[in-house]
Structure 1
Amino acid sequence: MPHIIVKLWKGKSETQKKKLAEALTNAAISVIGYDESSFSVAIEDVEPNDWKEKVYQSDIIEQKNKLYKSPGYKME
């Protein structure tokens, strides 16, 4: 049962989040299969000032062995 977690800067509308969840679900279905009912999607809003600490360091740098797509930016 795939569960997709998206962390993004705070400020996107509920409509945008719903469309993103639907698009991610459809893309995942086309690649790995499973029925639509098998998927869940969570979206976590992160304040831009907290991104480095709460996402970049903990989820990107410290868990780089889990990344299948790295960001094209670096934070010092």
Structure 2
Amino acid sequence: MPHIIVKMYPGRTMEQKKALTEAIREALIQSIGADPKTISLAIEEIPPSEWKEKVYDKEIVPQMENLWIKPGYTMD
């Protein structure tokens, strides 16, 4: 039962969000054999002014060792 939360800056169109969710859905089906009925996905838009506090410091930095793809930026 993969549940995916994509956190990103606001500004993408509904078409872009739909394309992103479909691409992730297809990747889950193809790569791990996920049943489409078991996939759930949310998009959370976080303003740039809140990214460091809400995402980088709370979710990225503490989990750096567990990230399969690490960010190519820092926020000191």
**1:23, CA displacement in angstroms?**
0.3
State yes or no: 1:9 paired with 2:9.
Answer: yes
Tell me the equivalent position of 1:52: 52
Identity of aligned residues (%): 49
Shift of 1:65: 3.4
One-letter identity of the residue aligned with 1:66? N
Detail structure 1 runs of 4+ shifted over 4 Å in the superposition: none
Q: Distance in 1 between matches of 2:33 and 2:67?
A: 21
Structure 2 residues not aligned, in runs of 5+:
none
Please name the residue that 2:22 is paired with.
22
SS at the partner of 1:62? helix
Aligned residues: 76
Gaps of 5+ in 1: none
Instruction: Select between 28-37 and 46-55 the one with higher mean Cα deviation.
Output: 28-37
Q: Given the alignment of the two structures, is residue 40 of structure 1 paired with residue 40 of structure 2, yes or no?
A: yes
Q: Please, what TM-score do these two structures have when normalized by structure 1?
A: 0.92
Which TM-score applies when normalising by structure 2? 0.92
Structure 1 residue 63 displacement after superposition = 1.9
